């Protein structure tokens, strides 16, 4: 007799902030029939993988945490990676979801079964079916590597910042860093004092703002533990202040007058050499690309053993890197700070809807969805931080929590109505997409004079949310059944659920 395939009410892919938060909220809502799949052996997602030296959050700790799980023990205003990772593990322990984790389990594919009205999910440990699928793998999951001629021939150590090789010794070595985004800005100051020579290959200079970081005193931490309302007040105050930054995202000229002047002054104070300062001065409006927050990145670039190079790399040789001006520089280690496959997430190639098309095929390089959470034609598929949910001013955890509540409302609607499935109506999704495109048209991301991963190949901004996180939360606070195509036949769906 063939063994029955296990069935779940909800299958969650990804054990980072988004996936774990969804799991905790499900359990709090009385749902126990769910599982969280992750191919790694530990939870943590981005904060498990990005363990490079200096790794830290660029959003204040008090708002970069779950509202339902405050952490009075943060030691800095901007928490370092080990603390954030430990916080997520503690959330798992305290919430009791450990038994729902399926670690070391890779989801290789998920297909909607139109006959049975549920998802069939293939994993490295066998198949399961689920009424609903929550894709929470995250946009910063799969490293993006440049296609450099001769890279395969390099004889030294070579790794991406998100796959940091802690066994590679950098002291006294000649190190090449390719990329100058947020990750590089954090690890370059850490490794520069150790390297014999550090070559920083810069394609586009980032705008750098001072990082208003400080240690959180023991007295403050004791006060937060004794009176949690004080930490709630701190969270609310910081969150409200950061929401005011939305106005500079909407108005590039205002960004130039206010934020860009601060960044330019920070550059002048940090880099005395006018020639180097010219190479480090961006040609676009601040905010068009992701802003770097750092007090030590720019000073690190002025060290005598550090060289900032703007000539494109034309070839990698076994022990050297060659640039377009013909100069060959001897290199022992290559480190890539080249970001992630945001516009083409690998999981989108593994999710297949009822028409047989993958999510990646449906999107064709320009993702769209309704409320950043569901996609027309893909029943009972919920995306965490889907299209147009990115923020340039505050914590994406706020966006995740709004989505968690929306997913719970949708699942409750299905259960209580005895329905099998729902997906956004195509016309509703099209109207929402048109609204996003219109509202983003004049923002700093679209009109700031740069190309970034916020935009697709055609220049459409599919990543960013054009307003406050409060507005997003209000938008998702009330589930609107009329916006969805609903399948009434229960079939195999909704079995064994509360």
Task: Encode pLDDT of 394-421 as tens digits.
Answer: 999 999 999 999 999 999 999 999 999 9
What's the confidence (pLDDT) of residue 144?
Answer: 87
What's the confidence (pLDDT) of residue 490?
Answer: 62
368/434 Cα distance (integer angstroms): 10
CATH number belonging to domain 151-212+247-336? 3.50.50.60
What's the confidence (pLDDT) of residue 495?
Answer: 46
Predicted TM-score (pTM) of the model is 0.95
What's the confidence (pLDDT) of residue 493?
Answer: 47
What's the confidence (pLDDT) of residue 353?
Answer: 97
What's the confidence (pLDDT) of residue 229?
Answer: 97
What's the confidence (pLDDT) of residue 412?
Answer: 97
Q: Say how many C-beta atoms besides its own lie within 10 A of residue 55's C-beta.
A: 23
What's the confidence (pLDDT) of residue 480?
Answer: 97
What's the confidence (pLDDT) of residue 137?
Answer: 92
Q: Say how many C-beta atoms besides its own lie within 10 A of residue 393's C-beta.
A: 19
What's the confidence (pLDDT) of residue 166?
Answer: 97
What is the CATH topology of the domain spanning 7-142+341-487?
FAD/NAD(P)-binding domain (3.50.50)
What's the confidence (pLDDT) of residue 341?
Answer: 79
445/493 Cα distance (integer angstroms): 42
**Where in the chain are all domains bearing CATH 3.50.50.60?**
7-142+341-487, 151-212+247-336
All residue ranges of the chain with pLDDT < 50 are 1, 493-498
């Amino acid at each position: 007799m063939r063994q029955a395939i296990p069935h779940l009410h909800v299958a969650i892919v990804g054990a980072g902030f988004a996936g774990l938060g969804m799991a905790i909220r499900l359990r709090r809502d009385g749902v126990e029939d769910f599982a969280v799949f992750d191919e790694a052996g530990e939870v943590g997602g981005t904060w498990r993988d990005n363990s490079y030296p200096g790794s830290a959050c660029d959003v204040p700790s008090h708002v970069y945490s779950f509202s339902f799980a405050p952490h009075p023990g943060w030691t800095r205003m901007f928490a370092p990676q080990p603390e954030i990772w430990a916080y997520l593990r503690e959330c798992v322990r305290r919430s009791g979801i450990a038994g729902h984790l399926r670690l070391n389990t890779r989801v290789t594919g998920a297909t909607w079964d139109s006959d049975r009205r549920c998802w069939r999910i293939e994993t490295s440990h066998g198949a399961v079916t689920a009424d609903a699928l929550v894709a929470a793998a995250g946009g910063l999951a799969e490293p993006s590597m440049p296609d450099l001629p001769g890279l395969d021939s390099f004889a030294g150590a070579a790794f991406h910042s998100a796959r940091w090789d802690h066994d590679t010794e950098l002291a006294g070595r000649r190190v090449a860093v390719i990329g100058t985004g947020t990750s590089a800005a954090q690890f370059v100051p850490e490794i520069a004092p150790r390297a014999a020579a550090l070559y920083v290959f810069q394609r586009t200079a980032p705008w750098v703002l001072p990082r208003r970081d400080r240690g959180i005193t023991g007295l403050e931490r004791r006060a937060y533990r004794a009176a949690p309302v004080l930490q709630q007040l701190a969270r609310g105050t910081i969150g409200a202040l950061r929401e005011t930054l939305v106005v500079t995202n909407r108005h590039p000229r205002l960004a130039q007058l206010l934020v860009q002047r601060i960044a330019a002054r920070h550059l002048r104070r940090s880099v005395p050499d006018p020639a180097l300062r010219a190479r480090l001065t961006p040609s676009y409006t601040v905010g068009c690309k992701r802003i770097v927050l750092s007090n030590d990145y720019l000073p690190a670039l002025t060290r005598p053993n550090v060289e900032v190079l703007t000539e494109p790399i034309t070839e990698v040789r076994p022990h050297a890197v060659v640039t377009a001006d013909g100069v060959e520089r001897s290199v022992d280690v290559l480190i890539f700070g080249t970001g992630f496959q945001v516009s083409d997430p690998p999981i989108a190639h593994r999710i297949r809807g009822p028409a047989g098309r993958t999510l990646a095929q449906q999107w064709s390089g320009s993702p769209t969805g309704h409320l950043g959470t569901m996609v027309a034609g893909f029943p009972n598929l919920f995306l965490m931080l889907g299209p147009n949910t990115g923020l340039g001013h505050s914590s994406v955890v706020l966006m995740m929590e709004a989505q968690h509540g929306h997913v719970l409302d949708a699942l409750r609607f299905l259960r209580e109505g005895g329905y099998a499935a729902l997906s956004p109506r195509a016309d509703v999704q099209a109207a929402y997409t048109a609204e996003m495109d219109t509202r983003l048209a004049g923002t700093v991301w679209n009109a700031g004079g740069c190309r970034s991963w916020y935009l697709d190949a055609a220049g459409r901004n599919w990543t960013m949310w054009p307003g406050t996180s409060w507005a997003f939360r209000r938008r998702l606070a009330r589930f609107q059944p009329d916006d969805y195509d609903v399948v009434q036949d229960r079939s195999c769906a909704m079995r064994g659920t509360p």
